[in-house]
Amino acid sequence: MSDPVVVAVAASPRHGFSKQPLPRIELMAGLGVIGDAHAGVNVQHRSRVARDRMQPNLRQLHLIHAELFEDLARAGFVVRPAELGENVTTRGLDLLALPRGTRLRLGALAEVELTGLRNPCVQIDGFQQGLTQAVLGRDAAGQLVRKAGVMAIVLRDGPVQPGDAITITLPAPPRQALAPV
Q: What is the mean pLDDT of residues 88-117?
A: 98
117 burial level (CB within 10 Å; 0-12, 13-18, 19+) = buried
Q: What mean pLDDT value characterizes the chain?
A: 93
| pLDDT given at position 157 | 98
- State the pLDDT confidence band at 82, using cuts at 50, 70 and 90: very high
Q: When comparing pLDDT for 78 and 42, which is higher?
A: 78
Q: Give me the percent of the chain exceeding a pLDDT of 90.
A: 85
Q: Looking at the domain 5-169, which fold is it? A: M1 Pyruvate Kinase; Domain 3 (2.40.33)
| pLDDT given at position 69 | 97
**88 DSSP β-pair partners:** 9, 63
Could you say which DSSP state residue 96 is in? G
Backbone angles phi, psi at 40, to 5 degrees: 155, 155
pTM score of the predicted model: 0.94
**Tens of pLDDT, residues 140-158:** 999 999 999 999 999 999 9
Closest CA to 90 of 70, 119, 120: 70
Question: Quick one: which H or E segment has residue 74?
Answer: helix 66-74
- State the pLDDT confidence band at 1, using cuts at 50, 70 and 90: low
> Measuring CA to CA, how many Å separate 148 from each of 24, 31, 98, 161?
22, 22, 14, 21
- The residue ranges of every structural domain in the chain are 5-169
Residue 68 is which amino acid?
Answer: L
| pLDDT given at position 119 | 87
**Tens of pLDDT, residues 35-63:** 999 999 887 766 665 676 678 999 999 99
DSSP assignment of 117-171 equals E----THHHHHSTTHHHHTEEE-TTS-EEE-S-EEEEEEE-EEE-TT-BEEEEPP
How far apart CA 107 and CA 115 sit, in angstroms, is 20
How far apart CA 148 and CA 167 sit, in angstroms, is 21
Torsion of CA 22, 27, 28, 32, to 10 degrees: 80
- State the pLDDT confidence band at 121, using cuts at 50, 70 and 90: confident
What's the N-to-C CA distance of the chain in angstroms?
A: 28
**177 DSSP β-pair partners:** 99
